[in-house]
Amino acid sequence: MAVKPIELSMAHRLLAGGPVALVATRYRDHINVMAASWFTPISMEPPMVALAVHKGTLTHDYIERSGEFTISLPNLALMEKVRDAGMKSGRDVRDKFAELGLEPVAGEALDTPVVAGCLAYLECSVVEAYDAGEDHTVFFAEVVAASAEQEAFRETWLLEEEEAKPLHHLGGHKYALLEKLLDAAAREEEQE
């Protein structure tokens, strides 16, 4: 294969392919939701994640004010709503959940809702925030509650049924599903 240069403005897409999330936020009586793919686990003890959010978004404002957010991991059935959540600003609509046809439901630990119909949920309490360049803040947050559909996840994603596979974002309007589960330990045993 031939290697070719990539525009630096597209370099982040080389790392894309992880799950996309619907990030919900609450400030007082107002809730908001946005699509995000710039998040990652950063600690197992305590369990923590990092979430990068553009400073100009309503989500950013609500996280700064409330110190919490939730991550809901959708499946293929929600792809268009995920896309729309990433295209429409919460500043431009009165109720972004209603506008997108998404249902906020109570989580286990925080006041911020999760998004109904998703495969898994993480409720996150911010412990630190760092500027990342001129345009984003990275929020470090402790996961205070987590849950998943048992048909979709048991220690890892099961990847058995299409509707139980997490939606992954590749960049722009491109999404994907993981194809199959591979077990390196089983392959090693086969080779012996």
pLDDT score for 190? 66
pLDDT at 98: 96
Report the predicted TM-score, pTM, of the whole model to 2 decimal places.
0.92
Question: How do residues 59-87 score in pLDDT, each as one tens digit?
Answer: 999 999 999 999 999 999 999 999 999 99
Calculate the average pLDDT of the chain: 94
Cα distance between residue 125 and residue 138, in whole Å? 13
CB neighbourhood size of 20 (10 A): 26
End-to-end CA distance of the chain: 31
Distance CA 115, CA 75 (A): 12
pLDDT band for position 191 (cuts 50, 70, 90) = low
CATH 3.30.300.130 for domain 17-191: no
Q: What percent of the chain has pLDDT over 70?
A: 97
Q: Which residues contact 127 (CB under 8 A, 6 or more apart)?
A: 48, 140, 141, 142
Residue from 167, 6, 162, 158 nearest 72 by CA? 167
* Per-residue model confidence (pLDDT) at position 189: 63
pLDDT digit string, tens, across residues 6-40? 889 888 778 877 899 999 999 999 999 999 999 99
Nearest to 118 by CA among 158, 169, 152: 152
How much is the average pLDDT of 33-56?
Answer: 96
Interatomic CA distance for residues 103 and 147, integer angstroms: 17
Residues 119-152: pLDDT tens digits? 999 999 999 999 999 999 999 999 999 999 999 9
Sequence ranges of the domains in the chain: 17-191
Give the per-residue pLDDT at 147.
96
Quote the pLDDT of residue 192: 61
Taking residues 94-108, what's their average pLDDT? 96
Span 44-71, average pLDDT: 97
Give one DSSP letter per residue of the chain, joined into a string.
-------GGGGGGGG--SB-EEEEEEETTEEEEEEE--EEEEEETTEEEEEEEETTSHHHHHHHHHSEEEEEE--GGGHHHHHHHHHS-GGGSS-HHHHHT--EE--SSSSS-EETT-SEEEEEEEEEEEEETTTEEEEEEEEEEEEE-TTTEESEE---SGGGSPEEEEETTEEEE------HHHHHHHH-
75, 81 Cβ separation under 8 angstroms? no
